[in-house]
Amino acid sequence: MAVYTEVPDEELSAFLATYDIGTVLSYKGIAEGVENTNYFLHTTGGTYILTLYEKRVREADLPFFLALMQHLARKGLNCPLPVGNRQGEPLGRLAGRPAAIITFLDGIAVRRPSAQHCAALGAALARLHLAGEDFPMARPNSLSLDAWAPLFAQAEAQADTVSDRLAERTRRELDHLAGAWPQGLPTGVIHADLFTDNVFFIGPEVSGLIDFYFACTDALAYDLAICLNAWCFETDGSFNLTKGRAMLAGYQSVRRLSPDEVEALPVLCRGSAMRFMLTRLVDWLNVPPGALVKPKDPLEYDRKLNFHKHVRHAREYGLDA
């Protein structure tokens, strides 16, 4: 459960008094998520999500994330809308943290997606990429190639306590990625964390996308690589080709991949696996005392990384020739 910051009742009431959404009826810490503190918030005006932004979110980036949600919603994408306070400001401070209230979205996050879910997700991802085309702000990906060596440095000394020879494996892979990382691919707004817990479904349809706090400007195909990793592996560690095929076809039904994106997909999948292995490893080794959070398993992503090392062509993910 991710509640890093407890919000005292009186502070919440004082915070809400700066908004026009009524008074608090109830609020409750949310059991999912690892990055930020989230509460369900019921007021006399409706149901909302209250988010307190924690360590990995830079305060200077918050205007980008909040403006992006507004832009995507205007373009017809179903994502949360930041609620402005009486001054029209979407961002405030609560319990010592930057905080925002966002609209509540209906739908259910599927734990074990089917191929049909993967197809719908692929199409939704491509729609997000198209909707982001005219978003005027930019934010470099602060968790891409250049960030990986410094992240690893935070965990290297203890890495072998998590898995035998993990440090050496990771060092070698970082060298490989530094030499092989593709340049010049089509770029734009990417979500960069579109895991199953960040996508809501009603029946087989995607009903909403949430958690835009890693969104940035980067290669569009890297976002697809993140989703292939997050959605298309089974719990036994095997890649599900049917799900991969469904996701890639869903994506391409909305936006076609260019030949250089197709060629780059295996290395993008490797890089994406590295990114999540590293952030998980650092978190695994540094659980803040007293925090109600269950860190995620870094080795799941070490195993995915090892799978991608043997992939030579995107056909092996199910891309039609």
210 interface partner picked from ligand ATP, ligand HSE, none, CB below 5 to 8 A per type: ligand ATP
DSSP for 88-119? S-S-EEETTEEEEEEE----B--SS--HHHHH
Give the containing element (helix H, strand E) for 52. Answer: strand 46-52
Under the rule (CB under 6 A), what is the footprint of ligand ATP? Answer: 2, 30, 32-36, 38, 49, 80, 102, 104-105, 109, 193, 195, 197-198, 210-211, 213
Spatial distance between the Cα atoms of 4 and 152, rounded to a whole number of angstroms = 24
276 interface partner picked from ligand ATP, ligand HSE, none, CB below 5 to 8 A per type: ligand HSE
Residue in the shown chain whose Cβ atom is closest to ligand HSE:
195
CA angle 6, 7, 13 (to 5 degrees): 170
> Are residues 254 and 300 in contact, defined by beta-carbon separation less than 8 angstroms?
no
Residues 6+ apart with CB under 8 A from 48: 21, 41, 83, 101, 102, 103, 104
- Which residue type does 130 have? L
- Nearest residue (CB) to ligand HSE, 59 versus 175: 59
Stretch in the footprint of ligand HSE (CB under 6 A) among 121-129, 163-171, 174-182, 275-283: 275-283
- Nearest residue (CB) to ligand ATP, 240 versus 279: 279
Spatial distance between the Cα atoms of 44 and 46, rounded to a whole number of angstroms = 6
Would residue 203 be called left, alpha or beta, if left means φ above 0 and alpha means ψ between -120 and 50 degrees?
left
Q: Is 195 in the site for ligand HSE (CB under 6 A)?
A: yes
Least distance in angstroms from the C-beta of 89 to ligand HSE: 26
The distance between the two most distant Cα atoms of the chain, rounded to a whole number of Å, is: 60
- Work out which of 71, 129, 245, 280 binds ligand HSE, going by CB under 6 A: 280
User: Per-residue x/- mask for ligand HSE, residues 22 to 41, rule CB under 6 A?
Assistant: ------------xx------
- Which residue type does 215 have? A
Least distance in angstroms from the C-beta of 35 to ligand ATP: 4
Q: Is 75 in the site for ligand HSE (CB under 6 A)?
A: no
Q: Is 296 in the site for ligand HSE (CB under 6 A)?
A: yes
> Are residues 1 and 31 in contact, defined by beta-carbon separation less than 8 angstroms?
yes
36 interface partner picked from ligand ATP, ligand HSE, none, CB below 5 to 8 A per type: ligand ATP
30 interface partner picked from ligand HSE, ligand ATP, none, CB below 5 to 8 A per type: ligand ATP
- Please give the residue ranges that form the binding site for ligand HSE (CB under 6 A): 34-35, 193, 195, 276, 279-280, 296
